[in-house]
Chain A
Amino acid sequence: MNLQNILNEIEQVDSEVYDRLKHVSRRNMFSMFAKKAASVAAPTLLASALNKAYAQSDVVVDVLNFALTLEYLEAEFYNVGMDTPGLIINLDRNVFGQLQKHENAHVNLLKSVLGGRAVSKPRFDFTAKGAFPDVFRNFKTFALLAQAFEDTGVRAYKGQAPRLIMDDPILTTALRIHSVEARHAARVRELRGLKGWITGNESGGAPPAVYAGEEAVTHLEVSSLIPGVPYSASTEAWDEPLSKEDVLKIVMPFLE
């Protein structure tokens, strides 16, 4: 299956929804959307419009296929890495073996949830068109990309969670994957000599887009800059979401 078509489809789903509802801002829409009670206790025209626009299954399928695409990427990355003689040695095999196990489990889980609507596995180019030519020959490059994929995964799930607010079981499953990606990310970061948490938008050599916006210090309009707390901690304490569009920009070079 051609992944570009899938991605185009995904974006089309969004733009349709926003076109239909362009009188409300994205943020307002989410807030209104969040008032699930509205559709039950006090039906309104808007709530009804939202229900139609966000036909639950379409949104869920969209989010899950997006997630599945990222999980395919991670799973294959670790599958190839673990199978490449001499690339990952000694104790690091514990780390990447665990990551491999989890990402393959995520793929299987998402595929089982999606059933016939699951997208097929794309073909990957982990050199990113030559940007990382030694990805499977040089452990440092491999670990760098592992960090980039894991931290991107954390941000991607975080960005999609609000879209699942209407579907508790799926939301909870996504959150349960999200925190595992964060465990992974922290471990890979430490293995590379970084802190497990993200300071500012420091990329540690990864593509800067992976960490763009991570330096945010405002959350629901509350500042996390606090007297006596280092700036570093004020940013480390808060992971930031990425939109699907921004995630796809990061991931696209790794797709054939």
Chain B
Amino acid sequence: MEQLHKDPASPKQRVSVLPVVPVNIGRRWFMRYVGVTAAGGVLLSSCAQENLNPITGPGETSMRGGRAGDVVELGSGDIGVLNYAYALEQAELRFLELVLDTRYDGMSTKEFQVFKDLRDQEITHVDFFEAVLGSFAIPKLTLDYSSVNFRNRDSVLTTARNFADLATAAYNGAGQLLTDANNLATAGKIVSVEARHASVIRELIAPGSTYFAGDDVVDPATGLDPAKMPGEVLPVAQQFIKEIISASRLPMA
């Protein structure tokens, strides 16, 4: 049985809440809430970063794309968590673009429509994080899917399933890292769509079965999807990302 007790011994990373400075940046008003804590984190620790290749990430203008080998610092606080999601969404979107570019042998009309829907939907997720993070956004990542055989249905569907399941578990785990309820509510609007993707992809893999919410992913005893923390998720995503994602400042719990 799941342990659901309250655990007072696991405080979140606390960052003092500075006076809110009115920021008039149109639709990015919410940065008032998340920007303050993250900016503080960046300022405090920007000179303590490792001496690897140029550091990109929160606080730097990231109009340019990242480069292989760059260390991409996600940042701290809610900003870091949103950048974490942004990185995953970028990786997912690029994969889906490549699926549609190549179209595996025997892709049905229905399958094409599913992948097109997924691609189009993920565009809006990526765009959202880019817009909402503004100057705190990590750069456009360099993605490498050479390990996926895009002509092969199994290879594509397996990767698509892994991504959708991973994204679902990642959002489930990240919810508790967010400190702003608006951010949490918004992440909630995305995660259920990721779960829908997982369900539909799984049905393509094993039609007519229980696989859409299979016992391999949903714990049959509790009926719970996994929740994975960044430390578990990022190494999986990293295999497709040429930059080095640094989550060192993410809240731990």
Chain A residues with CB under 8 Å of chain B are 27, 30-31, 33-38, 40-42, 56, 91, 94-95, 97-99, 101-106, 109, 112-113, 154, 157-158, 161-162, 165, 167-173, 175-187, 190, 195-197, 219-224, 226, 228-230, 232-234, 236-241
Alpha-carbon distance between A220 and B178 when the two chains are bound, in angstroms: 15
Tell which of A97, A162, A187, A195 touches B185, judged by Cβ atoms closer than 8 Å: A162
Q: Count how many chain B residues have C-beta atoms less than 8 Å from C-beta atoms of the other chain.
A: 78
Alpha-carbon distance between A103 and B191 when the two chains are bound, in angstroms: 19
Interface string of B62-95 (1 = CB under 8 A from A): 0000000000000000000000000000000000
Binds A, one of B25-33, B44-52, B143-151, B239-247: B25-33
Alpha-carbon distance between A35 and B182 when the two chains are bound, in angstroms: 11
Contact of B56 with A by CB under 8 A = no
Contact of B101 with A by CB under 8 A = no
- Known contacts: A168-B253, A172-B227, A177-B224. The answer to whether A226 contacts B192 by CB under 8 A is no
Shortest CB–CB separation between residue A210 and chain B, in angstroms? Answer: 14
Whether the Cβ atoms of B127 and A105 lie closer than 8 Å is no
Alpha-carbon distance between A116 and B186 when the two chains are bound, in angstroms: 33
Interface string of B160-191 (1 = CB under 8 A from A): 00000000100111011011111111101111
Shortest CB–CB separation between residue A174 and chain B, in angstroms? Answer: 9
Whether the Cβ atoms of B14 and A226 lie closer than 8 Å is no
Complex contacts, A158 vs chain B, CB 8 Å: 185, 188-189, 192
Closest 5 CB pairs of A and B: A105-B223, A233-B120, A237-B121, A102-B223, A182-B195
Whether the Cβ atoms of A226 and B212 lie closer than 8 Å is no
Whether the Cβ atoms of A172 and B6 lie closer than 8 Å is no
Shortest CB–CB separation between residue A32 and chain B, in angstroms? Answer: 9
Contact of B97 with A by CB under 8 A = no
Contact of B111 with A by CB under 8 A = no
Tell which of B183, B208, B223 touches A180, judged by Cβ atoms closer than 8 Å: B223
Complex contacts, A178 vs chain B, CB 8 Å: 188, 191-192, 195
Residue of A nearest to B10 (CB): A168
Complex contacts, A241 vs chain B, CB 8 Å: 185, 188-189
Alpha-carbon distance between A112 and B214 when the two chains are bound, in angstroms: 24
Q: Which residue, B172, B219, B221, has most C-beta atoms of chain A within 10 A?
A: B172
- Known contacts: A34-B182, A172-B227. The answer to whether A182 contacts B199 by CB under 8 A is yes
Whether the Cβ atoms of A165 and B181 lie closer than 8 Å is yes
Q: Which residue, A168, A220, A230, has most C-beta atoms of chain B within 10 A?
A: A220
Whether the Cβ atoms of B180 and A180 lie closer than 8 Å is no
Whether the Cβ atoms of B189 and A109 lie closer than 8 Å is no
Whether the Cβ atoms of A169 and B195 lie closer than 8 Å is no
Q: Which residue, B171, B186, B253, has most C-beta atoms of chain A within 10 A?
A: B186
Whether the Cβ atoms of B225 and A222 lie closer than 8 Å is no
Alpha-carbon distance between A237 and B189 when the two chains are bound, in angstroms: 8
Whether the Cβ atoms of B127 and A56 lie closer than 8 Å is no
Pairs A–B under 8 Å by Cβ, sample size 28: A34-B182, A34-B183, A36-B12, A36-B14, A36-B179, A37-B16, A40-B11, A95-B210, A102-B223, A113-B4, A157-B188, A165-B178, A176-B172, A179-B168, A180-B213, A183-B212, A185-B196, A186-B197, A186-B200, A222-B27, A222-B127, A226-B127, A229-B123, A230-B120, A233-B123, A238-B124, A238-B193, A239-B188
Complex contacts, A97 vs chain B, CB 8 Å: 210
Complex contacts, A106 vs chain B, CB 8 Å: 222-223
Contact of B100 with A by CB under 8 A = no
Tell which of B121, B132, B224, B225 touches A197, judged by Cβ atoms closer than 8 Å: B121
Contact of B109 with A by CB under 8 A = no
Residue of A nearest to B15 (CB): A37
Complex contacts, B172 vs chain A, CB 8 Å: 172, 175-176, 179
Q: A180-B213, A182-B193 are in contact. List 16 more A-B contacts (CB 8 A).
A: A102-B218, A158-B185, A169-B4, A172-B172, A179-B192, A183-B198, A183-B213, A187-B213, A190-B200, A196-B197, A197-B196, A221-B27, A229-B120, A229-B124, A237-B124, A238-B190
Alpha-carbon distance between A104 and B14 when the two chains are bound, in angstroms: 38
Alpha-carbon distance between A238 and B192 when the two chains are bound, in angstroms: 8
Whether the Cβ atoms of B16 and A42 lie closer than 8 Å is yes
Whether the Cβ atoms of A109 and B124 lie closer than 8 Å is no
Q: Which residue, B121, B208, B227, has most C-beta atoms of chain A within 10 A?
A: B121
Tell which of A37, A101, A113, A223 touches B14, judged by Cβ atoms closer than 8 Å: A37
Complex contacts, A34 vs chain B, CB 8 Å: 33, 178-184
Whether the Cβ atoms of B223 and A109 lie closer than 8 Å is yes
Q: Which residues of chain B from 203 to 253 have a CB within 8 Å of any chain A CB?
A: 203, 208-210, 212-214, 218-227, 253
